[in-house]
Structure 1
């Protein structure tokens, strides 16, 4: 068993190094992917505000908020948090904000199909990953920490 372990050790090191090297690119890909979805949705709402208000009044049932306020908050969240996420600025905050926007979409729109609900779950997992690990070293957060001379956070 010891011999097998010694033979596999270089392979394990190779995988560990590849994983460490790929992590910033994976986090960047997650940020760009999920931000694109939410930003496009926010732009769609902005393009036809009257329709957006109508949808929030009739179809989306956001708890505890008046429809107009829910529309403004949802559109703001989709556009601003996704922009922050792309830049990796306040990355964990942006991921948490989009997670809440995503959660509200699932809660407030009862006509989601099983397939569209699965998309929301997928986006939630990506956002939770970004919240847990941060935006990575290819971000403005990392550049700011480096400029300030603070130690780099893991991931």
Structure 2
């Protein structure tokens, strides 16, 4: 039995970490990207739907920030940070930003959604936060170029 398990592990060790990290980054980015796109008018690239501010004003009711500013910041963040995460551009920064968004949503907006949604987002985002973007990322390209320029 242990021999079979050992062979199974050896097979799994062949999966490149870079592919795993890429898949995690794409999966973690998806709910934020779709949430951001749902805030944009259908016939527009980036015009926010009028009812989005009302959503932030009446349903989310965030303290210490105006509904207009919160709606704008969330819409921009939900577009920019997922793209950065998928590309592996400033991976740890983008994962941290999305984790902050997750924490705000969890603590102030939908506290009942921890085990159904937010724990999964957190788990996915902790991977690139802890490990970076991996070999298939713009971070690696930038670091490689920075090392070349320094040498």
- Structure 1: segments with no counterpart, 5+ residues: 1-6, 151-155
Superposition deviation, residue 20 in structure 1: 6.8
Query: For the residues of structure 1 that align with 2:84 and 2:143, how far apart are their CA atoms?
Result: 16
Going from structure 1 to structure 2, the CA distance change for 1:106 and 1:40 (only over 3 Å counts) comes to same
Query: For the residues of structure 2 that align with 1:127 and 1:57, how far apart are their CA atoms?
Result: 28
Partner of 2:51: 51
Larger radius of gyration: 1
Q: SS at 1:59's partner residue?
A: helix
Deviations 1:84-138 (A, max 9, x none): 001100000000001111111122224x654x75211100111111101111110
Partner of 1:146: 144
Aligned-residue RMSD, C-alpha: 2.4
- Structure 2: segments with no counterpart, 5+ residues: 42-47
Superposition deviation, residue 49 in structure 1: 2.0
> Does the 8 Å contact 1:24/1:138 carry over to 2?
yes
Number of residue-to-residue matches in the alignment: 139
TM-score, reference length from structure 2: 0.80
Partner of 2:73: 73
> Does the 8 Å contact 1:87/1:139 carry over to 2?
yes
Q: SS at 1:49's partner residue?
A: coil
Deviating 4+ runs (over 6 angstroms): none
